[in-house]
Amino acid sequence: MKSLKLYGKRDIRYEEATKPAIEKQDDVIVKVKAVGICGSDISRYMKLGPYEEGMIFGHEFSGVVEKVGRAVVQLKPGDRVTGCPALYCGKCESCKKSEYARCEKLTVIGSTYPGAFAEYVKLPAENFVKIPADVDFDAASMVEPSSVVIHGLYKTMMHPGAEVAIMGSGNIGLLAVQWANIFGAKKIYAIDIDNEKLAIAKALGASATINPKDGPVHEQLMTLTEGRGVDVAVEAAGSIVTSAQVFSLCKKGGSVVFLGIPYGDVNVERFYFEKIVRNELKVYGSWNAISAPFPGKEWETSLQFMASGQL
């Protein structure tokens, strides 16, 4: 079958690959219909993270079930599905607590297992979620990044009436804008250095936008919020600069959630670090998109709001 394989930094090749075959009784093979390109794909392409040379790339996808192992009862050929690309070990302390996002050996297809930039993908049956009739394949390939966002937001105090600031208006940041609306946010402040992205954020429901080129972010935000700051600040830019600045956006007692990592040292200047302590912030790290029962309510809930048109 056709596939895209990663061979090294900025070295992706379009090559033939062996079509996967059912080996274990819970294996499911899916014909890929749509694939997304993740921020983490771009990072891996540019800087290389964990990967195996020549591995098929990509992990955000949807498709149609082609073949199922004999123990699989919940899926049958022809079913429209989205795939959760995460594979957990099942044996570590986190897995024993069903905290799969915290698995010591968590891996994702596209790095050490064959990925989704291919005609067919194979994963265990439990990694697939059926998609409703009114969600198309393109949308369904976005369920993974959407689930990354809601996995993080569930940790915060985001509730109807909340004021929210979102660092970054890339793929994850824009999804965060939409989710903040779904959570009932009163005001959503989108922050990015790219005015075109900010315009999209506005169109997707941001109440106001902030471009750091126009002045310090926290000063602009304090003006917009009449000195209050926000209840929840979301780090969705993944840069070493924003990962420090994000601490300056909250009200006292507010919460900050990190949806990703900047892959670099983060120098938190005294001004920003003191905010954590003096403002008694709650800071949450969030990793991956999965919970229990696997792959977690993040997936069903993403599909719920894709079907309703709110995502």
Chain positions contacting a second copy, by CB under 8 A:
93-94, 96-99, 101-102, 104, 150, 154-155, 159-161, 179, 182-184, 186, 228, 243, 251-253, 258, 260-270, 273-287, 292-294, 297, 300-301, 304-305
What is the nearest approach in angstroms of a second copy to the Cβ of residue 243? 7
* Residue with the two structure tokens 């930039």: 117
Q: Is 95 in the site for Zn ion (CB under 5 A)?
A: yes
Q: Is 103 in the site for Zn ion (CB under 5 A)?
A: yes
Determine the angle formed by the axes of helices 171-182 and 195-203, rounding to 10 degrees: 30
- Residue 61 or 258 having the CB closest to a second copy: 258
Quick one: which segment of 15-23, 99-107, 117-125, 248-256 binds Zn ion (CB under 5 A)? 99-107
The span from the CA of 168 to the CA of 41, in Å, is 17
* Residue with the two structure tokens 């996002």: 101
- Residue 5 or 187 having the CB closest to a second copy: 187
Neighbouring C-alpha atoms within 13 Å toward the C-beta of 73: 1
Q: Is 244 in the site for Zn ion (CB under 5 A)?
A: no
Judged by DSSP in three states, 284 sits in: strand
Residue at 292: amino acid letter: A
Q: Is 42 in the site for Zn ion (CB under 5 A)?
A: no
| Encoded tokens for 31 | 């014909």
Q: Is 92 in the site for Zn ion (CB under 5 A)?
A: yes
The span from the CA of 304 to the CA of 79, in Å, is 17
| Encoded tokens for 100 | 């799969």
- Residue 60 or 66 having the CB closest to Zn ion: 60
Decide which of Zn ion, a second copy, none touches 251; Cβ closer than 5 to 8 Å per partner kind.
a second copy
- The residues with which 60 forms a beta bridge, in sequence order, are 36
The span from the CA of 30 to the CA of 215, in Å, is 49
- Residue 103 or 118 having the CB closest to a second copy: 103
Decide which of Zn ion, a second copy, none touches 279; Cβ closer than 5 to 8 Å per partner kind.
a second copy
Contact between 32 and 61 (Cβ < 8 Å)? yes
**Contact residues for Zn ion (CB under 5 A)?**
38, 60, 88-89, 92, 95, 103, 144
